[in-house]
Homo-oligomer: A and B are copies of this chain.
């Protein structure tokens, strides 16, 4: 290479580096599955605001904490929470070891396929099913059970793997926030140990940033080897008032952005937006009966009623899934 050509290369490289990156920042759409509208613009504005150096609203990266509900916010939750479907599958799998379940509710009804009868006692039934299927093994064993299930189980109506029923626009949002220095956390009413085995691969959220409900575990030595054994006892229920409590205990810093879809997330959004400086709250509103499900004010699962009122009153971002999202699931992408 001649001296002249080398120099040319150096200058060209410099030009590409400086102007290319500027151009990229201005033209690449980080949220391609979002229709242009108020919701998308509010997200872009948040990121622009907190990353603008020298601005009074600049937020240092360490404080750019964003918290996401999971069920109904990052993935679907109909016809019932996917973790409940997991528990029902586990009841079937464990039934041969529990002949007594044939005559014992809620298991007897479940094994006959009558979910409604099984749930007759409401939360009491759910707790019994969860404890029978989520406790009594080591944490390593439970991780394997969840990993095996999530790799093979299919949704009852779409027949898709559950990990393909995550929301493509939200995946883009997670990536976009992280690319702008945010640290993303899940804060879910679901079980921590049900989410951790796949959350990193699907959402890019490592186990230490997954917060949720938990049962107690006990440390013991088994033949000299340490094990953590899952006990049939609730440790923490991460819903409603529990969410800001868990955020405080496990993150220890108030988030600047919170994302939810139901009244169970309201306290998390209140807590997040009550801090000083720029704050952001977003509700995903399920309005698309055709591509997903439409529910909200009167739904027994994922009810969004008080939260919707407060979001409207306070000017929080409300995502109208039908209007705001070009696609729902990753597989719809062209």
Contact = CB atoms under 8 A, between A and B. Distances in A.
A129 B214 CA distance: 30
Contacts of A206: 62, 253
A283 B109 CA distance: 54
A219 B245 contact: yes
A115 interface: no
Contact of A217 (B214, B219, B248): B248
Contacts of A253: 206-208
A151 interface: no
Copies of this chain, count: 2
Interface string A231-254: 000010000011011001111110
A297 B294 CA distance: 65
23 contacts: A3-B4, A6-B10, A10-B10, A139-B248, A183-B208, A192-B249, A207-B251, A208-B209, A208-B252, A214-B249, A217-B245, A217-B248, A217-B249, A218-B241, A219-B241, A219-B242, A219-B244, A220-B241, A221-B270, A226-B244, A226-B274, A228-B248, A228-B271
Contacts of A193: 252
Given A210-B252, A253-B208, A245 B226 contact: no
Given A62-B200, A226-B244, 13 more contacts: A3-B3, A6-B10, A7-B7, A62-B206, A65-B208, A139-B248, A192-B249, A208-B252, A217-B245, A217-B249, A219-B242, A220-B241, A228-B245
A311 to B, nearest CB: 15
A42 interface: no
A285 interface: no
A196 interface: yes
Interface residues of A, number: 42
A35 interface: no
A48 B4 CA distance: 43
Contact of A196 (B3, B226, B252): B252
A249 B267 contact: no
A244 B267 contact: no
Contact of A226 (B139, B209, B252, B270): B270
A65 B270 CA distance: 33
Interface in A58-73: 62, 65
A274 B244 contact: no
A225 interface: yes
Nearest first, the 6 A-B pairs at minimum CB distance are A207-B252, A219-B241, A208-B251, A219-B244, A207-B253, A196-B252
A248 to B, nearest CB: 5
